[in-house]
Amino acid sequence: MKKITIAIDGHSSCGKSTMAKDLAREIGYIYIDSGAMYRCCTLFALHQGLINPDGSIQTEELERRMSDIHVSFRLNAETGHPDTYLNNTCVEREIRTMEVSSHVSPIAALPFVRAAMTSQQQEIGREGGIVMDGRDIGTAVFPNAEMKVFVTASDEIRAQRRYDELIAKGESADFQQVLENLRERDRIDSTRAVAPLRQAEDALVLDNSHMSIPEQKQWLIDRFKERIHA
């Protein structure tokens, strides 16, 4: 059976990656977390001192250094999910910190960053058989994806999920700060000039505010089955 392309977009911290990972594992597709790629660019910029104390970005220098950023994904045998590598170092944990979260959206709004990541994503997904999640996958990266899903949930529920996730990983977190960060990222992501976050016209919409992880997984598997048998 022909393997299709599945694009899962939506707001920050709404559980897209959990759904996307679960679906990919279930159906034997490759899962790509496009947000991890923007987070790697942000971590690189932080490590290289290209983000000033006031939060402004040294854009010319970052643009010059873009070719030094190599992101890859390798399957972690223990978790069964791919880990993110930046220049051959596993950064799966480092890219999920609040520090990275607080700088990622301005970095992801830079046109040269988007151009570089979009072309890598298109290359990875060239053969289909992929589940990719992000903000612009169904609109800009794979506008012809056979299945598109747009996920959302209320702000407070999304912040609570992200807060719980950070605490479970042993990170320090403040609920109000997490809530403000996701609202601010949604604002920047939705209003940027290049490939803003928006629902593709042909996307299936899922508000998972009151769904459990098994319920949302089942919803997605059912939609996938409908799609491939259509």
Shorter beta-carbon distance to ligand CDP: residue 11 or 217: 11
Which position among 20, 35, 71, 208 is part of the footprint of ligand CDP (CB under 6 A)? Answer: 35
Identity (one letter) of the amino acid at 53? Answer: P
- Where do we find the tokens 């299945």? 147
Residues 151/9, Cβ–Cβ less than 8 Å: yes
Tokens read off for 88: 């051959």
Tokens read off for 80: 């069964």
Shorter beta-carbon distance to ligand CDP: residue 105 or 152: 105
Residues 204/230, Cβ–Cβ less than 8 Å: no
21 lies in the binding site for ligand CDP (CB under 6 A)? no
73 lies in the binding site for ligand CDP (CB under 6 A)? no
Point out which span in 60-68, 100-108, 163-171, 201-209 binds ligand CDP (CB under 6 A): 100-108
> What mask of x and - would describe binding to ligand CDP in positions 124 to 163, judged by CB under 6 A?
----------xxxx--------------------------
Which position among 5, 6, 32, 34 is part of the footprint of ligand CDP (CB under 6 A)? Answer: 34
Taking the complex as a whole, how short is the minimal distance between the CB of residue 197 and ligand CDP, in angstroms?
A: 7
CB atoms within 10 A of CB 130: 23
Separation between Cα atoms, residue 191 and residue 47, nearest integer Å = 27
Separation between Cα atoms, residue 22 and residue 64, nearest integer Å = 37
> What mask of x and - would describe binding to ligand CDP in positions 180 to 209, judged by CB under 6 A?
-----x---x--------------------
Report the b/e string of 67-91 with b at 16+ CB within 10 A.
eebebebeeeeeeebbbbbbeeeeb
Tokens read off for 24: 């990919």
Residues at the contact surface with ligand CDP, assessed by CB under 6 A: 12-13, 34-35, 38-39, 104-105, 108, 134-137, 185, 189
